[in-house]
Amino acid sequence: MRNVVPPKTNAKHLLALLRTLEATVPAGETALAPIWDSLAGQFLKRRGMVVILSDCFDNADALGRSLQHLRFRNHEILLFHVLAPEEIEFPFKHPTKFRNIETPGHEILTDTRRSATST
């Protein structure tokens, strides 16, 4: 977790949120589910709205359980699944090497024609 902006009810709070988002730089791999669980259990004492902007690169079952934990604590959840244009359009037509930008040296060669038709 890089930043936590404590909840406030004044007019300048949106500006603080936007400044925090603007200053955030992607860096490194993050296990999301434990972070969301700690939010539900430790940081968020009162019922509120949790806004998550994420690529959701984590174990789907673990993410689901963490979201359930937040819901169990009566929080409203807004999850924005951030996608790169290539993830939506999938323009790859030939065998392609994909690199994990969060884990240096982790690469996989994929026959994208087979991958695109099997989904």
- Note down the domain range covering 105: 86-119
Domain tally, the chain = 2
- Based on the fold, state whether residues 22 and 62 are members of the same structural domain: yes
Distance in angstroms (rounded) separating the CA atoms of residues 94 and 96: 6
Question: Which residue reads 């988002």 in tokens?
Answer: 21
Q: What integer pLDDT is reported at residue 68 of this predicted model?
A: 92
- Based on the fold, state whether residues 76 and 109 are members of the same structural domain: no
pTM higher than the cut 0.75:
no
Question: Which residue reads 């994208």 in tokens?
Answer: 112
- Based on the fold, state whether residues 115 and 68 are members of the same structural domain: no
- Based on the fold, state whether residues 11 and 57 are members of the same structural domain: yes
- Based on the fold, state whether residues 94 and 115 are members of the same structural domain: yes
Distance in angstroms (rounded) separating the CA atoms of residues 13 and 51: 14
Cβ proximity of 95 and 110 under 8 Å: yes
- pLDDT digits (tens), the chain, 119 positions: 677 787 788 889 989 989 998 998 877 777 888 888 888 877 777 888 888 888 888 888 999 999 999 998 888 999 999 888 888 888 888 888 888 776 778 888 888 777 655 44
- Based on the fold, state whether residues 37 and 94 are members of the same structural domain: no
